[in-house]
Amino acid sequence: MEISVTVDRDGVEAVSEIFERIGSGGVVIEDPLLVDEYIQSNRWDYYELPPRAALAVNKVVVKGYLPEDRRLAERLEELKEQLNNLQQYYLPGCEARITTDTVAEEDWANSWKAYFKPEKVGQRVVIKPSWEDYHPQKDEVIIELDPGMAFGTGTHPTTAMCIRALEKHFQTGQRVYDVGTGSGVLSITAAKLGAGKVVAIDLDETAVRVARTNVEASGESHRIEVIQGNLLDVVTEPADLVVANIIADIIKVVSPDVLARLVPGGLFIASGIIDDRAADVREKLLADGFKIIEEETSGGWVAFVARSL
């Protein structure tokens, strides 16, 4: 059973502790103002949310999960009693409203795999999950992938636009930096297209581990080096091409470093930009000394291909 307690913001921590005492292994906290803070500060571009007006409330939902067994009724009564105590003695006037719903127990680590199928995302590149069978057509490049807990199945519009740009502009033997590699899908794509050397970089330890596993499985570990590090701080040699599927503000931050590490005439493929930030990013790339040679929009996202001058 999913138990949702809608509570004033001051009561979130107390309600979370109550859930822990009655046996919920953890809680989900849905705080609309926290989401709004991320949107306002432009720190989070990956969102699909209701209008901002719908977020302007001082209520937070705390969700806990309990098995529907013989102890469920007892635990629900304990929850109600402790919430009443909270309202009467500790946080007078604090509203706490309970709703319940029955949800199917699932293997959350694997159930999403049912929706990840082989997909052709470019003219030649096909993304194939490791657990699916696929018979390639002539000239198709197969990228076998298990994204695990890292972002990047290759089928999201931001990633697919990068893959199409690589197909169109990449030249055999080039040196590539993949900034914010995630699952490693773009590094593997570059290697399969004939890169001489690819350096995949991510700050997140989980992403680095997943990317290394995928690179090893792809048979391209002789071309791809996966490094944990912050943006381009960990590389010094000039590259022919840099690809970054991240967010608008980080692209703006890394743009001067990309220019400094590209050979003259090198390319910067930048994606992960929501459409209302595109003008901002375009202006920064031009100001830093890039010439934008291509722009693609897909599903509310924008990707740029820029050439260093």
- Say which CATH number the domain at 218 has: 3.40.50.150
Per the document, the length of the chain is 309
Q: So what's the pLDDT on residue 131?
A: 84
Predicted model pTM: 0.70
Measured in whole angstroms, the distance separating CA 73 from the mean position of its chain's CA atoms is: 39
User: Which pair of tokens denotes residue 187?
Assistant: 């590094």
Domain span at 68:
2-101
Give the whole-angstrom CA distance, residue 25 versus residue 75. Answer: 13
* pLDDT tens across the length of the chain (309 residues): 999 999 888 888 999 999 999 998 789 888 877 766 666 665 555 445 555 555 446 788 999 999 888 999 999 999 999 999 888 888 877 778 899 998 877 666 677 677 778 889 888 999 888 888 888 888 899 988 776 654 556 678 899 999 999 999 989 999 999 999 988 999 999 999 999 999 999 998 888 998 999 999 999 999 999 999 999 999 989 999 999 999 899 999 999 999 999 999 999 999 999 888 999 999 999 999 999 999 999 988 999 999 998
Domain boundary, last residue among 101, 133, 160: 101
Number of neighbours of residue 239 by Cβ within 10 angstroms: 23
Structural domain count, the chain? 2
Give the whole-angstrom CA distance, residue 296 versus residue 159. Answer: 12
Q: So what's the pLDDT on residue 152?
A: 58
Q: So what's the pLDDT on residue 39?
A: 61
Q: Is 153 part of any domain?
A: yes
Residue type, 222: H
- Same domain assignment for residues 93 and 230: no
- Same domain assignment for residues 96 and 145: no
Domain boundary, last residue among 44, 77, 101: 101
Largest CA-CA distance found in the chain, in angstroms, rounded: 72
Give the whole-angstrom CA distance, residue 95 versus residue 82. Answer: 13
- Same domain assignment for residues 64 and 175: no
Q: So what's the pLDDT on residue 165?
A: 96
Task: Report how far apart, in Å, the C-alpha atoms of 203 and of each of 102, 121, 233, 235, 246 are.
Answer: 38, 26, 11, 13, 12
Give the whole-angstrom CA distance, residue 285 versus residue 280. Answer: 9
